[in-house]
């Protein structure tokens, strides 16, 4: 059974720092992996999608990497801003039918 | 505007009183899915549908029903709600093969 974990559970950093969020999954047979952002009381916003054949994806200050063989993905946020404060979730797609398993999330606070 | 809508956004009900949470998307997506989000457990998939009249169980389907009679709508039905179904519910949709999921704003359900 696929299990997804995220470390750390919570993180508080001063504005301007670069930071790394970690996601681990137990079964390397995945179709893709997606990083989401969730703001309090709101739905999820897709940040980056990495196909199983890819090693990384970049969008602005965000960079996500995927090491399928070791069951790990990282989300790198450069020059963090208070507006980046949110919960970050990773989700693993188990097959083409889009059967997603989510991690518990990392709650990020960026202090001004 | 491309979006996924859910109704109601908030619902308080009593044990055993049948209820339906509606989900609608205007992006002509084939794939739709329901999740519940609970503290410490993250998001867990309830049911998903790959197209009209095609539905499959996710990880936690017990106590729920769904139907997909039209491409745009994917209602979640609780025939006899119980307090353990108190949760935050999200609907999501995507194009098969494109994979990026779009989430609705969430429905907070309380069953007393």
CB within 8 Å: B96 and A96: yes
Give the minimum alpha-carbon distance from A56 to chain B in angstroms, rounded to a whole number: 16
What tokens appear for A31 in the block?
Answer: 């179709």
Residue A50, pLDDT > 70, answer yes
pLDDT band at B99 (very low <50, low <70, confident <90, very high): confident
CB within 8 Å: A103 and B42: yes
**Is any Cβ of chain B less than 8 angstroms from the Cβ of A93?**
yes
Contacts of B48 in chain A (CB under 8 A): 97-99
Phi, psi angle pair for A75, to nearest 5°:
-115, 120
pLDDT tens for A9-48 read 999 999 999 999 999 999 988 889 999 999 987 889 999 9
Beta strands in B1-86 (DSSP E): 4-7, 10-13, 19-25, 31-38, 42-51, 54-57, 65-66, 76-78
pLDDT tens for B38-83 read 988 889 999 999 999 999 999 899 999 999 999 999 999 999 999 9
Least confident interval from A96-100, B24-28, B54-58? A96-100
pLDDT, position A35: 96
Which of B41, B94, B103 is closest, CB to CB, to A44?
Answer: B103
Handedness of CA B89, B98, A58, B4 (dihedral sign): negative
pLDDT, position A97: 62
Distance CA A46, CA B81 (A): 31
Count A/B contacts: CB-CB distance under 8 Å.
Answer: 63
Average pLDDT, chain A: 93
Question: DSSP class of residue B73?
Answer: B
Q: Which residues contact B35 (CB under 8 A, 6 or more apart)?
A: A102, B43, B44, B45, B46, B58, B89, B90, B91, B92
pLDDT band at A1 (very low <50, low <70, confident <90, very high): confident
Handedness of CA B24, B3, A109, B44 (dihedral sign): positive
**Is any Cβ of chain B less than 8 angstroms from the Cβ of A90?**
no
pLDDT, position B42: 85
CB within 8 Å: B102 and A46: yes
CB within 8 Å: B96 and A98: yes
pLDDT, position A96: 64
Give the minimum alpha-carbon distance from A49 to chain B in angstroms, rounded to a whole number: 7
Interface of A with B in 51-80 (CB under 8 A): 51
């Amino acid at each position: 059974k696929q299990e997804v974990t995220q470390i750390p559970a919570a993180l508080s950093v001063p504005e301007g720092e670069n930071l790394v969020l970690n996601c681990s999954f137990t079964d390397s047979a995945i179709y893709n992996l997606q990083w989401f952002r969730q703001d309090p009381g709101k739905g999820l916003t897709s940040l980056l999608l990495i196909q199983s054949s890819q090693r990384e994806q970049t969008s602005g200050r965000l960079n996500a990497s995927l090491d399928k063989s070791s069951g790990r993905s990282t989300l790198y946020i450069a020059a963090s801003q208070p507006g980046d404060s949110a919960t970050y979730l990773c989700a693993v797609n188990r097959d083409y039918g889009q059967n997603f398993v989510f991690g518990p999330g990392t709650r990020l606070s960026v202090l001004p | 505007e491309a979006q996924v809508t859910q109704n109601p956004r908030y619902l308080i009900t009593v044990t055993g009183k049948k209820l339906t949470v509606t989900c609608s998307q205007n992006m002509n997506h084939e794939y739709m899915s329901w999740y519940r989000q609970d503290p410490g457990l993250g998001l867990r998939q309830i049911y998903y549908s790959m197209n009209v009249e095609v539905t499959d169980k996710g990880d936690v389907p017990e106590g729920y029903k769904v139907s997909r009679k039209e491409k745009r709508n994917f209602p979640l039905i609780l025939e006899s709600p119980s307090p353990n179904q108190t949760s935050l519910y999200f609907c999501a949709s995507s194009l098969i093969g494109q994979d990026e999921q779009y989430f609705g704003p969430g429905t907070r359900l309380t069953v007393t």
